[in-house]
Amino acid sequence: MKTLQTTFFFLVFVPLVNSAPPIQQETLPFYEYDTDVTMGSLIQHEYEMQSKDIRQDGTNVSLDTSLRLQGDDSERNIPPTKDTNLPTCLLCVCLSGSVYCEEIDIEAVPPLPKETAYLYARFNKIKRIAVSDFADITTLRRIDFSGNRIEEIEDGAFSKLLLLEELSLAENRLLKLPVLPPKLTTLNANQNRIKSRGIKANAFKKLTNLAYLYLGHNALESVPLNLPESLRILHLQYNNITTITDDTFCKSNNTRYIRTSMDEIRMEGNPILLAKHVNAFSCLRTLPVGTYY
């Protein structure tokens, strides 16, 4: 009976048992898009596989070193770029009528929004100011070009800026002053290369609102002529001024004339001895700062 049961077992159940599958081959992991797997992990897996092959060949290379070398090579292959052809309000900062284009290495005045009232373009590489730069911008009240490389300003570049009150051209390479707008109150042209012949005789005569004039650290040989009565602060320090006349600040034909608005004149650093020209200061409330003896 037991023999019959054993035979029955082998005949019925053994055919139903599948043979064991062969040893599975090693498969590479499958990465899908939109997962949390980063490119770094993919590169690391690839280098782990390569490092296994390298070690099998008897060569010992650090995985971290290999990854670092690849990263360095990829960085070196990407040249540094600075796109200065972007729209002005992407390249600069535009805020409530003010445009800030400071220290971005631009070489020309960018196109400005028509409502621009204040332009700050300091410390760039601008070399030239053209008439077209402000042809359609009549709302400007303040312009600051300090710290550029400006050598030339076209005549008439500021002529249509009838609302312009403050203009800074300090720390540039100017040899002469441009024609200035009529409502200007402040002009800063310190630290340029301006000589006396670079300032027209009537450059300031019609600027009846001009109160602050800064021409220090230039190459002037004389004090500019026809300074307006509105002038309060005049800086002429560290030029090459050698002489002044009785009409430079005062009126030689009017001994009662007093220049009431003038508060400060700086002339130190010039070769002139001011004590030799005492009559030139008779209309001033305070003497200029400078060398007297």
- Residue 115 reports pLDDT greater than 60: yes
Which one is predicted more confidently, 187 or 31?
187
Measuring CA to CA, which residue among 173, 163, 166 is closest to residue 143?
166
Residue 254: predicted pLDDT: 92
| Most confident segment among 80-84, 88-92, 170-174 | 170-174
Instruction: Give the phi and the psi of residue 234 in degrees, each rounded to 5.
Output: -130, 115
Give pLDDT tens digits for 259-284: 999 999 999 999 999 999 989 999 99
Q: What angle do CA 69, 70, 74 make, to 5 degrees?
A: 115
Contact between 107 and 124 (Cβ < 8 Å): yes
Rounded distance between C-alpha atoms, residue 218 and residue 174, angstroms:
9
Measuring CA to CA, which residue among 202, 191, 195 is closest to residue 220?
195
b/e code 145-165 from CB counts within 10 Å (16+ = b): bbbbebeebeeebbbbbeebb
Rounded distance between C-alpha atoms, residue 157 and residue 172, angstroms:
17
- Residue 28 reports pLDDT greater than 90: no
Tokens of 70: 């690849």
Measuring CA to CA, which residue among 268, 261, 290, 269 is closest to residue 278?
290
Residue 182: predicted pLDDT: 95
Residue 47: predicted pLDDT: 39
Q: Which residue shows structure tokens 């249509």? A: 160
Q: What percent of the chain shows pLDDT beyond 90?
A: 68
Residue 87: predicted pLDDT: 86
Instruction: Give the phi and the psi of residue 75 in degrees, each rounded to 5.
Output: -70, -40
Give pLDDT tens digits for 207-238: 999 999 999 999 999 999 999 999 999 999 99
- Residue 239 reports pLDDT greater than 90: yes
Q: What percent of the chain shows pLDDT beyond 70?
A: 71
Residue 85: predicted pLDDT: 55
